[in-house]
Homo-oligomer: A and B are copies of this chain.
Amino acid sequence: MHTPVCVQDFETHAFQVLAKGPLDYYKSGAGDQLTLENNRKAFSKLRIRPRCFRDVSTRNLSTTVMGTTVCVPFGIAPTAMQKLAHPDGEIASVRAAEKMGTIFILSTISTTSLEDVAAAAPNAHKWYQLYIYKDREITANLVKRAEAAGFKAIVLTVDSPRFGIRRDDIRNNFKIPPHLTLANFVGDKATNVSRAQSGSGIANYVISLFDPALVWEDIAWLRQLTTLPIVVKGILTAEDAQKAVKMGVSGIMVSNHGGRQVDGVPASIEALPEVVKAVGDQVEVYMDGGIRQGVDVFKALALGAKMVFVGRPNLWGLAYNGEEGATKVLDTLKFELDNVMSLSGCTSIKEVTSDLVVHKSYYSRL
């Protein structure tokens, strides 16, 4: 195996080394996986219109997110159970993010406790991804612990009253291996993903524990628990974006959960413009889904994302070799983004403007 030169190389490697259960869990999308595929293909339908002969001798890739400066406009999306990829799991990821000076979002269903993650990377920009459990005490507890541990935002995932149908997890009767735990819950009733007798263990876990009765008004309940800003994750329509704004959220993450919920929803990058248009300057808009290279980041920024996040690329980096692999993935994206900015005439993130990216249909009118 060659040293990876792009995220796809890390992916190819991970496909070779990971065990079937975890690999399928990581890579799968819902149903026929058309949305999963489209998350990538939709990027290839966007064209960059580069500008030449601007002084690009120095580029500044940093941006601000809710007032805080981050070194690059891409961070790490929350993905569950990262120890399936490498024994260091979430610790390796958060340290890679810390080194890069960017945001790491910890999943509620992580294999490392939020306190351990916080302790391992005290200077990282850490956000905490929240699933709301039927048992509101469990939930409130998580939020308070996250705030106490130094997490800087709550990322409330709104697309998962239950999980999408990921066929390979059902076929594999996917369970969390005995040596791992959902570390945020040690001792309480939300611990166990392995008890499923048949079907997908993770889907059954979600069905039994997550609260499917949530409505937009429940955000008010969350707000009185914490002073942290709230980002809602999983929005794909202008309608929902406006509802979120009305509830006073600080940020919106356009996301289709990596194509893992409903097969048939738009690619995240397809849905981004309508959300950006709907919310205007009221809140910041982020996105994840299908980001694999610098040009993808560039396109998403041009279409109005303030920041983007990568899910699977981080997992492939972990599988390569833990913190070092995760770091290499982020370095690769930075190198690529720096390159496309240089070659498109942009020296700062705010210069990545909407006129630099068009849909390919722009070129079918002669």
Contact = CB atoms under 8 A, between A and B. Distances in A.
Interface residues on A, range: 35 or more
A155 to B, nearest CB: 14
Interface stretch (A18-26, A162-170, A310-318): A162-170
Interface of A: 2, 5-6, 8, 31-32, 34, 42, 44-57, 158-162, 164-165, 167, 170-171, 211-216, 218, 232, 234-237, 239-240, 243, 261-267, 270-271, 273, 293, 295, 298-299, 303, 335-336, 339-340, 342-344, 358-361, 363-366
Contacts of A211: 57
A47 B266 contact: yes
- Identify the 4 closest CB pairs spanning chains A and B, nearest first: A270-B363, A52-B158, A57-B213, A48-B264
Nearest to A6: B167
Contact of A50 (B5, B159, B298, B366): B159
A264 B299 contact: yes
A237 B5 contact: no
Nearest to A37: B44
Nearest to A354: B366
Nearest to A265: B48
Given A46-B264, A53-B240, 18 more contacts: A2-B171, A6-B31, A34-B44, A45-B364, A49-B265, A50-B159, A52-B232, A52-B235, A52-B240, A53-B158, A55-B214, A56-B213, A161-B343, A262-B340, A264-B295, A358-B366, A359-B364, A359-B365
